[in-house]
Amino acid sequence: MSGSNARSNAIRAITSYKPDLAPLNYADTKPTEIYGSNVFSDKVMKERLPRIVYKSLRKTIEQGVQLDPSLADIVASTMKDWAIEKGATHFTHVFYPLTGHSAEKHDGFLSPDGNGGVITEFSGKMLSQGEADGSSFPSGGLRSTFEARGYTAWDVTSPAYLMENSSGIVLCIPTAFLSWTGVALDRKTPLLRSNQALNKQASRILKLFGKKTSLPIISYSGLEQEFFLIDRNFVFGRPDLLTAGRTLFGAKPAKGQEFEDQYYGVMPRRVMSCITEAERELYKLGVPVRTHHNEVAPSQYEIAPVFETANLAIDHNQLMMTVLKKVAKRHGLHCLLHEKPFSGINGSGKHLNYSIGNAEVGTLFEPGETPHENAMFLVFLVAAIRGLHKYGGLLRATVAAASNDHRLGANEAPPAIMSMFLGDQLTDILEQFRVGQVRGSKGKRLMNVGVDTLPPLPADPGDRNRTSPFAFTGNRFEFRALGSSMPASASQTALNTIMSDSLDYAATRLEKLSGGDPEKLHAAVGKLIQEIVEEHSAVIFNGDGYSEIWHQEAERRGLPNYRTTPEALMVYTSPDVVDLYSRYNVLSRQELKARQEIYIEQYCKTIRAEANLVIRMGRTIIYPAGLRFQQELLRACLDMRALNREPDTVLLDDIDDTLRKLREGLEHLENNVDMKIEDPVQEAHHKCTVVIPAMNAIRTLADHLETIVPEDLWPLPSYQEMLFVK
Ligand code: ADP
Ligand code: MG
């Protein structure tokens, strides 16, 4: 099929599209019945498990107490019966290797009984621990030192669930993935470790303030997910979208997003049914999806659940990405989770709303009603300021990937400089502490307060800032630099760990300053705030994060600006990060080094694959299209000459010139893409500074061709079609 045929076929398929799925019916089956119906939830456990087993399991879930292994058999057999009743035939440990995807290996419940029949089998051991061949997953040099075998260990805090596929139902058990010597090979293990560190340090602060709780302090995460939905037919005509998840070519459409008529607009019907069906699937899995809306770019959407404990929210986000992709297909759509599928059009992010606390104490980033509560709030707030100032580079590193480099700093997503938006009122109050004269809250009546009677704080900072990577939004921080396709675990782990470090520092300092005397606590808090603001306020910035002035100002303030992934990834093994992660037992030097190696390798692989695709598409699709037009123009010139008329050759010259440069560009890229470079860091640098610019140069030429080659000769679906034909 020639390219232009593929295009017109795609458009015909879309315009004659008829949904073959009946609309969802919530009248017969209520959403409340569907919600969590595929989860081995607290309710199911309570109903089915013997009381004593249930209680013990709850204790493990809530307090992180180790599960009595003798109970695992009972839990497993109950879980199996429940799953089989619901139609499951297989089970799997789901784990989260460093590839960024989740991994599964399905195992049947059936075992031969020796008499030609079968029995179902699922023991406590099969539930709690599985063996996974670690050698098929990236381990960044850990494999040579350790055994290739890895094992998966049940994460009791994330409930098991049933995944429905067209071919059957599988019981899925979320797990951590480790080597036999206990080295973390996944994204979940460090997150769980960082939660423990956070609990320990945050509890010290609560204790100082006399705040009692029977539950551990945990971190929460509310993850807003952006994505694109375009018609599937276009994707088959775009090898770049199909394999790289983004367009490597494509001229800007005549109409882009400049009218801002898409944001919060009415969703097209097909998109609406796709998203509501995805939500229904997510309801079944107990994912508390709450909002959906049109995003800024054409064909871009967002879906967001209610926040949950971080570990669960992050597992649920992985499920959300899987479900969106799967359900989109059923509606003839393709879900693009890539950070920048269309150049020149807004990319997609994933906002991580971060807070800490528990069901008893609420969120600790929430200003309180009394001066005493506010004092505690301010301690948590300045701890975050100190943490971001000291370890902003680490947070930046957790969002480093080839795909996110197209977004960060491109005037739509926050810049690569990590700064904090606090709003004017809080900034003003902190400044009052710094100069040692606390008067009160700006815009409110002035209060005569010393450092030991703190001013009432604004419950809502009021102003909103969308250009800051890390914004305080009243009772949480919103981290906006995460890419849409990325698991949120590494960022959440970093946030937990830098908070642990700062709370540790604050607790030790307050203990020293107050000498353990509660009467002296408020004065100590005043001093602590003063010190931290004095030393770390450079990280606070309430202005426009997109502006050039900020880039200069940030540099003057000494804030790191890692513009590209290879630069940012170096932070993982910097002495202060190694020290930080080792002190709180989150990741050892060796584990950090392994991660760095894996991410560098992934970066190189991504760029290499994209560059090869550019070469292939350039040679077999784009160059030939230009050549065809060149032939038409030549024929027209010859015809003119035959009639003794002087042809206008301006366009022909342009085509000649562009095609020649295109051919040269492709040769240059080909010479560079596979250049042997031994050191992976050097290779990443080369990819970043030589290969990417070479790809971009080719793209510019190709996109120019697209604007002059006749429509019927152009083989690739255009931006116009992909983004606006729905
Ligand atoms: P926005 O105004 O940024 O679109 P929303 O009100 O839709 O924000 O909330 C975004 C996300 O923040 C949701 O997932 C929400 O549940 C979550 N969120 C709200 N409060 C908290 C909190 N205390 N901690 C973590 N996440 C929270
Ligand atoms: Mg938001």
Question: Of the given ranges (239-253, 409-423, 446-460), which has the lowest mean pLDDT?
Answer: 446-460
Mean of the pLDDT values across residues 675-684?
94
| CA distance to 261, 338, 541, per residue, from 255 (Å) | 11, 22, 34
Both tokens of 219, joined, read 């971190």
Please indicate whether residue 350, judged by its CB atom, sits closer than 6 Å to ligand 1.
no
307 CA distance to ligand 1 centroid (A)? 6
Both tokens of 270, joined, read 């097909």
CB 183 within 8 A of CB 145: no
Residue 365 Cα: closest atom of ligand 1: 23
DSSP alpha helices (H): ranges in 171-215?
188-208
CB 177 within 8 A of CB 132: yes
Of the CA atoms within 13 Å of residue 234, those in its CB half-sphere come to: 25
Rounded Cα gap, residues 54 and 61, in angstroms: 10
Residue 334, SS3 per DSSP? strand
What is the Cα gyration radius of the chain?
28
224 CA distance to ligand 2 centroid (A)? 7
Rounded Cα gap, residues 229 and 435, in angstroms: 52
Domains in the chain, ordered, with CATH? 35-185 (3.10.20.70), 195-247+259-444+458-587 (3.30.590.10), 602-724 (1.20.120.1560)
Of the CA atoms within 13 Å of residue 419, those in its CB half-sphere come to: 31
209 CA distance to ligand 1 centroid (A)? 27
CB 218 within 8 A of CB 358: yes
| CA distance to 125, 179, 187, 351, 450, per residue, from 147 (Å) | 21, 7, 19, 37, 61
Mean of the pLDDT values across residues 235-251?
96
Burial-class residue 678 by CB neighbours within 10 Å (0-12, 13-18, 19+). exposed
Place of tokens 């009381």: 51
Percent of residues, the chain, with pLDDT higher than 90 = 73
| pTM of the entire predicted model | 0.94
Return the pLDDT at 444. Answer: 46
- Bridge-based pairing of strands 420-421 and 470-472 is parallel
Please indicate whether residue 453, judged by its CB atom, sits closer than 6 Å to ligand 1.
no
Both tokens of 254, joined, read 């005549």
DSSP 62-101: HH-PPPPHHHHHHHHHHHHHHHHHTTEEEEEEEE-BTTSS
Please indicate whether residue 427, judged by its CB atom, sits closer than 6 Å to ligand 1.
no
- Residue 451: pLDDT over 70: no
- Give pLDDT tens digits for 345-402: 999 999 999 999 999 999 999 987 777 788 899 999 999 999 999 999 999 999 999 9
Mutational pocket test of ligand 1: of 307, 351, 421, the residue with most ligand atoms within 8 Å of the beta carbon: 307
Rounded Cα gap, residues 286 and 40, in angstroms: 10
- Give pLDDT tens digits for 596-631: 999 999 999 999 999 999 999 999 999 999 999 999
CB 356 within 8 A of CB 219: yes
Residue 504, SS3 per DSSP? helix
Tell me what the pLDDT averaged over the chain comes to: 90
631 CA distance to ligand 2 centroid (A)? 52
Rounded Cα gap, residues 545 and 465, in angstroms: 9
Please indicate whether residue 96, judged by its CB atom, sits closer than 6 Å to ligand 1.
no
Q: How confident is the model at residue 256 (pLDDT cuts 50, 70, 90)?
A: low
- Residue 445: pLDDT over 80: no
DSSP 620-662: IIIHHHHHHHHHHHHHHHHHHHHTT-----HHHHHHHHHHHHH
